[in-house]
Structure formats: structure tokens, C-alpha cells
Amino acid sequence: MSLDAHTPMPGRSLADRILRRGPLEAIATTIIAAGVVMLMQPVSLTLYSWSFATTLFGTVLFTIVSKVRE
């Protein structure tokens, strides 16, 4: 049986596989983008009201996860 990059390594937990920089940065980036869209959308004032909190949370998350190991 051959092992490729996508094969889960034995002994690595689910948390180990998820808590890496790549996926976490992708999550943070998505939250930031959602915050920016909420800030500028013309549909809902409630979404606009929560946009800053969302962007701030995404930015703080991005700053933290960019220090996590690859």
C-alpha cells in the first residue's frame, strides 16, 4: 500500500490534523471576508451591525493562527 500526502498518518489525532496553520488560516480568512461582505452589503442593518465584531474576530484569529506550526 502506498502512502500519499492525503493519507492520515497513524497515531495523529483529528485535532492534530485540523489544528495546523493551513486550515486555521483558511477559516480565519473566510471569517474576515464574511465580515467585510457584512459591512458593505445593502440587505440587512443587523448584518452590518455585526460586521465589525466578525472582522475583528477573524483578524485576531488570523494573527494567532499564523503563529501555529505548519
Partner 1 sequence: MNDLSASSRITYGAVPLQPGLVRRVRGLSDKALAWLFITPTIVLLLAINIFPLVWTIYLSFTNYRANRSNAPVKWLGIDWYQTILTDPDIWAAMQVTAHFVFWTVVIETVLGFGLAFLIDKKFRGHGMWTTIILLPMMLSPAVVGNFWTFLYQPQIGLFNYVVAFVTGRSASSFQMLGDVTLSPWAIVIVDAWMWTPYVMLICLAGLRSIPDYIYEAAEVDRASKWRQFWSITLPMALPFIMLAVLFRGIENFKMFDMVNLLTGGGPGSTTEVASITLKRAAFESWRTGYSSAFAIILFVTVFGLANIYVKALNRVKSR
Q: Would you state the cell numbers that stand for residue 40, as one nine-digit string? A: 458593505
Contacts of partner 1 in 3-62 (CB under 8 A): 25, 28-29, 32-33, 35-36, 39-42, 45, 48-49, 51-52, 55-56, 58-59, 62
Interaction between residue 63 and partner 1 (CB under 8 A): yes
Closest to 48 in 3D by CA, of 36, 63, 65, 57: 36
Residues that bind partner 1 (CB under 8 A): 25, 28-29, 32-33, 35-36, 39-42, 45, 48-49, 51-52, 55-56, 58-59, 62-63, 66
